[in-house]
Structure 1
Amino acid sequence: MPDASLSRLVHDLASPDPVVRDESAYAALSALVRTGALTPGDRASLATAMLERLRHDRIEARAFAPLVLAALVRAGDGEQAWVPAVTTWYVGERDQRGHDPLLGWLHAVAHGADFFGACGAAGLGRPADLLDALARRLVAPTPCVWRDQEDDRVAHALALVLARSDLDEVTSVAWLEHVRRLFAAGSPGSVPPEATNTMHTLRSLHLALGEQPLDSGIPVTVPHADLVRVEIAALLHEVTPWAWRPRRGRA
């Protein structure tokens, strides 16, 4: 593919026009990565551009970069250094809008989660680091209650990381310490948005781990699913003790 054409797609991926950015540029870039149509040099240049894009001053530009990086990871081109770079952006991203009437899909929370889920599925990065990044995003103070299935996307990413064969029991639940501290800091009054987002995400994850999580439609096995579900249930019971109680001897 000519460099000029690739550069144009990268440029259009930052467009405020959702048709140009999402339906055209992103669709084309993801297809090029998925089908192996890019040279190694093109893929390296694309990754560099996406990592730089995470520091862009406009949310519509930042938010689509991790999706392209996720596609590269799934194609086998991921690098360990991408994980801390995306983590810095993800945990610190303040604009958590899902769909905007003018800008279309932004979805930084979901798109970032997709990157970490792709890393989990591809064996890229330490599982502890991936889980920690997702957990820190969950509990970070925010004025925004997620409304466009961000909680489900984060839960799915967590499930893919938890399916890693190199994940031990301790690491599989250590990330929940972030949640434990968040819930312990609660006080009478309105529920903080980050607490609501966390509750919704944990409920989605608990459900997924009790069924069969999928990676691109293919079932995956989560080795410590029962242990994680027990820990999640205990945490959720702390915030809704009046609604239900855990069954003895069951997750």
Structure 2
Amino acid sequence: MTDWTMIESDDCAVPADRPLEELVRELSAALGDPDPAIRDGAPYSVLATWIARGVIDAPRRLALGDEMAARLQDREIQARTFAPLVLDMLVEKGDFRAGWVDAFERWYPAETDLRGYDEKLGWLHAVAHGADLLDRFGRHPEVDPVRMLHLAATRLTTPTDHVLDQLEDDRLARAVARVLTRPDLSERDATTWLDPIGACFGADRLSTPVPAHLTNCLRTLRLLYVLADRGVRAPGTESAPEALRHRAAVKERIAAVLDLIVKR
């Protein structure tokens, strides 16, 4: 196997003795490896750098995106959950295919393994990595932001026994907040995606103990309310917070939905 750590330490310089196609295939395989030292180590850094720098040309990037979209249905959890990270890199670079959105929409609410971290496999982060891609797609001019808002609601209301950990709910709240900054959202668009969550609270309000998916909804909406009030920053930046569209209406609707569970 290629010594990706050495390549990373050499400012991700491309080896001259190997075809780029072969190197990209190896990097792609590494990002599905069950060994977290391989999957989440130097290969990830090198692939991200090569995509950002344009080392991997557009046709190869599109092919890689198609591969990642297909990988969302892989049998291995770590392969599924790292595929959105690569798609996020590609879309950030300017690559896009509508089929990638379709594949993501099929996978995200259907994923049943919501562990943030596994002692053997390392970071999995299905919800968080999916949230990052939801943010990216939701702010893309070729994607209807309402579609991503409803996808977030579906992910939250899908029954599960797993209470989100490792800040997964925070990542999803920030992703939704970022989608809600889209200037083309109407007030209706910015609020009605919350209706299924309200219906879920109403239907399950007599459940004891509180179902895990309701806890996940509560935690996500609490932070979303704060972000609606204060604005949301781009991930990893100290930029000024960006205001959500129709923030007053969004806050009012979130509060009304949360009130349904408070009245249990």
Match of 1:224 among 229, 237, 246: 246
Amino acid across the alignment from 2:175: A
Q: Report the equivalent of 1:130.
A: 148
User: How far apart in 2 are the matches of 1:164 and 1:75?
Assistant: 20
- The separation in 2 between residues aligned to 1:221 and 1:34, in whole angstroms, is 28
Q: What does 1:56-95 correspond to in 2, within 5 Å?
A: 56-95=74-113
Structure 2 letter corresponding to 1:120:
G
Q: Which amino acid aligns with 1:97?
A: R
1:76 and 1:122 in contact (8 A); partners too: no
Q: Which residue of 1 aligns with 2:229?
A: 210
Q: Is the 8 A contact 1:97 1:107 kept in 2?
A: yes
In the alignment, the residues of structure 2 paired with residue 206 and residue 102 of structure 1 have an alpha-carbon distance, to the nearest angstrom, of: 36
Give the Å deviation of 1:75: 1.4
Q: Tell me which residue corresponds to 2:214.
A: 195
Shift of 1:241: 4.2
- Cα distance between partner residues in 2 of 1:225 and 1:31: 36
Q: Structure 2 counterpart of 1:50, which letter?
A: M
Match in the other structure for 2:17: none
Aligned match for 2:164, one of 135, 146, 168: 146
- 2:5 corresponding residue in structure 1: none
Between the aligned partners of 2:52 and 2:251, the Cα distance in structure 1 is 34
Unaligned 5+ runs, structure 1 = 243-251
Matched-pair identity in %: 38
- 1:74, 1:122 within 8 Å by CA — same for their partners in 2? no
Match for residue 111 of structure 1 among 129, 133, 136: 129
Q: Partners of 1:128 and 1:141 in 2: how far apart?
A: 22
CA distance in 1, matches of 2:110, 2:165: 19
Per-residue CA distance 1:44-83 (angstroms, 9 max, x = gap): 1110110111111010010000111111111111222221
Task: Give the TM-score taking structure 1 as reference length.
Answer: 0.92
Between stretches 212-221 and 143-152, larger displacement belongs to 212-221
Structure 1 vs Structure 2 CA RMSD:
1.4
Question: Structure 1 stretch 216-225 or stretch 70-79: which is displaced more?
Answer: 216-225
Deviation >4 Å, runs of 4+: none
Q: How many residues align?
A: 242
